[in-house]
């Protein structure tokens, strides 16, 4: 009828949505924490009996045998090491003894060389005295074959204080390398040449007599005179007129050079006059030419 309200049409209503419907991915991950591929592989290993530790008696026995074998190898290695240790120690001691014997033998040979060198030098000096007469004595004196004594000057030269570690100063151009406050072979050469030019008749450095053929060189930081090392302080003795020799050296270019080393690089030196000094003969002489004394007598 007209005017009467129609009842609402019946519709099939859908069931209400779950509260976690929007979290389906998270729910799936939580419910299936293991990937399907991994799960299948794990199940296959379980079916084949290969998952985890071996479960069969044969596999367990094999594992135990492997562990026993490994322990045996380690034990045998340790036992062998202990057995060979005394042998190695014995060989080491024998090698040390051989080295010590070789060093002692080398030292003995060096002493023999020094003794023979002194014998040859002494015979050379005796020959000069015996067959050369006054001229031979003069030649022996000038060549350094005989010891000499008389007045002169003593020049003591030493490195700068703390020179072993270097002071970081500017390079010394005359030396050609960075200066460390240490006296170099070139410096000693200048000092000796200055003394010869100032009138020195004989010179020695730390007890080593110089001749016209003496060589002053360097080996590292050490100064060598005729291949023999010198140790600072260097004591330079020069025989001559003690008054004129000292003044002439200080006024010479080489004396001024030594003064510059003292002022700029800390090299220390002192000069004093001595009434009497004694210089030894040169340890070795180089003979360029010689004539047998018997032949010379027969010729005369």
| Tens digits of residue pLDDT in 237-249 | 999 988 899 999 9
The pLDDT value given to residue 155: 94
Residue % of the chain over a pLDDT of 90: 29
The model's confidence at residue 177, banded by pLDDT at 50, 70 and 90, is: very low
Longest Cα pair distance anywhere in the chain, in angstroms?
A: 183
**Cβ(237)–Cβ(154) under 8 Å?**
yes
- The residue among 120 and 298 whose pLDDT is bigger is 120
Q: Residue 30 to residues 37, 42, 74, 164, 298: CA-CA distances in angstroms?
A: 16, 19, 49, 77, 127
pTM > 0.95: no
Question: Cβ of 244: how many Cβ atoms within 10 Å?
Answer: 12
Return the CATH architecture of domain 150-279.
2-Layer Sandwich (3.30)
């Amino acid at each position: 009828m007209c005017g009467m309200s129609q009842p609402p049409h019946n519709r099939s209503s859908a069931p209400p949505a779950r509260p976690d419907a929007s979290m389906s991915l998270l729910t799936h991950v939580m419910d299936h924490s293991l990937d399907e591929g991994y799960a299948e592989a794990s199940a296959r290993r379980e079916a084949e009996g290969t998952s985890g530790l071996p479960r069969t008696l044969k596999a367990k026995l094999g594992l135990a045998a492997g562990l026993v074998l490994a322990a045996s190898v380690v034990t045998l290695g340790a036992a062998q090491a202990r057995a060979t240790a005394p042998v190695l120690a014995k060989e080491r001691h024998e090698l040390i003894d051989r080295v010590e014997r070789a060093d002692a033998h080398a030292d003995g040979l060096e002493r023999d060389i020094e003794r023979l060198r002194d014998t040859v030098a002494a015979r050379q000096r005796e020959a000069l005295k015996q067959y050369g007469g006054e001229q031979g004595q003069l030649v022996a004196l000038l060549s350094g074959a005989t010891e000499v004594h008389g007045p002169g000057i003593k020049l003591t030269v030493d490195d700068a204080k703390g020179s072993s570690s270097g002071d970081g100063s500017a390079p010394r151009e005359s030396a050609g390398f960075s200066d460390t406050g240490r006296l170099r072979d070139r410096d000693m050469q200048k000092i000796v040449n200055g003394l010869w030019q100032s009138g020195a008749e004989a010179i020695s450095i730390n007890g080593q007599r110089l001749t016209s053929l003496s060589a002053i060189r360097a080996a590292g930081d050490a100064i060598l005179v005729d291949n023999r090392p010198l140790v600072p302080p260097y004591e330079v003795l020069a025989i001559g007129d003690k008054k004129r020799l000292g003044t002439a050296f200080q006024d010479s270019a080489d004396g001024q050079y030594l003064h510059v080393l003292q002022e700029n690089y800390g090299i220390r030196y002192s000069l004093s006059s001595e009434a009497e000094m004694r210089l030894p003969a040169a340890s070795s002489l180089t003979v360029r030419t010689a004539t047998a004394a018997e032949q010379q007598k027969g010729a005369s």
